[in-house]
Amino acid sequence: MLTALQNIIVKHWRGDYSLGFAYWFIGVGLTVAVSIVVTLTNLFVSSSAVSSSLFGSILVVLCSLIVPLTIWQLVGIWRSAKYHPSEGGRVLWANVVKVMVVLAALRAVLDFAEIGIPQFQEGVDLMSNGDAVGTFELRVLNEGKELELIGFIPFGTAQSVREVMRRYPEVEVIHLNSKGGRVSEAVQLYEFIRQQQLDTYVASECSSACTLAFMGGKNRYLSKRGILGFHSASLPSSTNETPTQLNDEFKRIYRQHGVSEQFIRQAVGVDGASMWYPGHLELIASRVIDEVVPSERFAASNAVQQLQKTWQPEHLQQAPDAALVNYWQTVVDNLNFLNFTNPQQCVQYLYPHWFENSLSLVTVLPTNLYSAHQRAIEQVIEQTDLQPDYQVRLGSKQVLAQNMMDSIERDYPNYPHVLVAPEQYKTQDKLLCSATIALYESALRQETVERQAALLRYLAQSE
C-alpha cells in the first residue's frame, strides 16, 4: 500500500500520467476530496468539545499538508501538459491547462498569504499558549431559572453551558454579556439555545460572535441599558473558513430569523477592527430584538454596562420630565465646575467635535459630580420607553425660548450672539462656557417642571 502510494506520488511529480488523469483526477478530484475533509473537520470541531491545543494541532497539520500537496498537484499537471503534445495530444488543450495551472498557482499564493499564514500562526499559538480569546464566567440566577454568561466565548464555552444546564434543567433565560469570541462556539451556543427554547437577554453588551448566540433565543430581550455590536468577521478565526464564509454564516442565521437585508448588509459591512452599535429602535424595526425591557425584568447582572453606548439622541426628547430635568441639572453642575477649574475643558465638554479627543469626565470631575451624572443617565435610560413614531411638537416652546433669550440679553447683552455663533468664540473659552451655562440655567429656573422640560427638549432639538 505504501509502495503504491509512493509510486503515485513520484509518477505524478514527473508528469508520467496522462494529462486527462493528472488534471481531472489528481487536480480536480483530489481538491474536492481535500475540501470534504476540511468540511468534516469543521463539523467535528463544531460538534465536539475540542481543546484549544488539539484545535491548534489540527490547524497546523492541515496548513502543513495543503501547501506541499498544492505544489505537488500543480507541478505534476504542468509536466503532464508539457509532455502531452509529444504523446500525440492536442497542443491547444496542453496550453489551456498550463494557463489554468498558472491561475491556480496565483490563487494559491494569495490564499496562503491571506488565510493560510494567519491560520498557521494561530494554530501554533493555540498549541503553545492555549486560547487567547479570553475567559468567561457562568452564574445561575433567580433560583435556577436564569443563567448568565459574562466574558468572552473561547473554546469549551458551549460545552460548559450544556453541563450547567444538565444540573439546572429549569433554566428558561440565558443572559449573554460578551464582546465575542470563537464563531464555532457561538454557533454551537445558538443551536443549543434554539434546541432548549431558551429566551436570550442582554443586560450590558453582546457583540461580534455573541450576536449569533443571541439570535437563538425564542424571545430576544435587550435591557434599556444594553447594546448589541456588529462587524465583519476577521482572521485569525475559530475555524478553517475564510472571512467570506464566516460572514455567510452570520447572514444565514440573521436571515433565518427575518432580520432585514439592509441591516444585514450594514452589520457585515463594518470593518472587523471596528464595531457598529445600532440604536434600540433600529434593532426592533430590523427584527433583531423582540423587546426592550427594564433591567428589573430579569435577575441583576454582574456585567459592566456601557451607558455611553446605550445613550441615544432620542432620549433627550422622549425622557419623562423629571428625569430629563435632573439630567440637565447634572450637566449644568458639570459645566459650572469645569468653567471654574478649566474653561477649555468646559468647551471640550460642550463641543467635542472641535477637539481630536473627547473629554473623559471620570478623570476631570469630582466623584460626587460624576456619580450624580451617571445616575441621572441611568434614570433617563431606564425610565424612557423610546417610540419610533415619536413626533416633536413645538407648540408654545418657541415663544418660551424667545422670552428666555430676551431675559438673558437684558442681563448679558453679548450672550445671544455667542450662543448663535459659538464657532466665532472658540478662543474665548470662559465667555463661551458662561453663555451656555446661562442658557440652561435659565431653562431650569422656569416655574414648573413641565416648562423646564419643554424648553430643554427644544434646546436639545435645536442643537
Residue 245 grid cell: 464564509
Lowest mean pLDDT, pick from 18-22, 123-127, 365-369: 123-127
Report the distance separating Cα 183 and Cα 9, nearest Å: 37
Cα dist from 312 to 34, 307, 418, whole Å: 50, 10, 27
The whole-angstrom separation of Cα 29 and Cα 175 is: 46
Q: Mean per-residue pLDDT for 372-376? A: 92
Residue whose C-alpha is closest to residue 169's, from 199, 195, 196, 189: 196
Residue 259: per-residue pLDDT:
94
Average pLDDT over residues 49-77: 81
pLDDT in tens, 149-208: 999 998 889 989 999 999 999 999 999 999 998 888 899 999 999 999 999 999 999 999
Phi and psi at 366, nearest 5°, equal -65, 155
Note the pLDDT tens digit of each residue in 182-192.
888 899 999 99
Give percent above pLDDT 90 in the chain: 46
pLDDT confidence band for 241 (50 / 70 / 90): very low
Q: What is the pLDDT of residues 291-334, one digit of tens each?
A: 999 888 999 887 766 666 677 888 888 999 999 999 999 999 99
Q: Could you give the residue range(s) of every CATH 3.90.226.10 domain in the chain?
A: 136-308
Query: Residue 208 and residue 178: Cα distance in Å, rounded?
Result: 9
Rounded to 5 degrees, φ, ψ at 139 are -130, 130
Could you identify the residue written with the cell 446661562? 438
Q: Per CATH, the architecture of 136-308 is what?
A: Alpha-Beta Complex (3.90)
Cα–Cα distance for residue pair 143/367, rounded to 1 Å: 36
Q: Which of 361, 374, 364, 366 is nearest to 342 (CA)?
A: 364
Residue 133 · residue 152 · CB < 8 Å: yes
Query: Rounded to whole angstroms, how far apart are CA atoms 324 and 331?
Result: 11
**Rg, C-alpha atoms of the chain:** 31
H-helix or E-strand spanning residue 95? helix 91-111
Q: What pLDDT is stored for residue 346 in this prediction? A: 95
Q: What burial class does residue 342 get, using C-beta atoms within 10 Å of its C-beta: 0-12 exposed, 13-18 middle, 19+ buried?
A: middle
Angle at 132 between CA 128 and CA 135, to 5 degrees: 130
The whole-angstrom distance between residue 297's C-alpha and the CA centroid of its chain comes to: 25
The pLDDT of residue 378 is above 90: no
The x, y and z cell numbers of residue 29, run together, are 478530484
**Does the structure show a pLDDT above 60 at 138?**
yes
Distance CA(439)–CA(459), nearest Å, equals: 9
Distance CA(111)–CA(129), nearest Å, equals 26
The set of long-range contacts for 385-389, using a CB threshold of 8 Å and a minimum separation of 24, is: 385/292, 385/318, 386/279, 386/280, 386/281, 386/292, 386/312, 386/314, 386/315, 386/318, 387/318, 388/281, 388/284, 388/285
pLDDT, position 199: 97
Closest to 217 measured CA to CA, from 239, 205, 199: 199
For residue 250, the model assigns a pLDDT of: 86
Q: Which tops the pLDDT comparison, 240 or 432?
A: 432
| Helix (H), strand (E) at residue 158 | helix 157-167
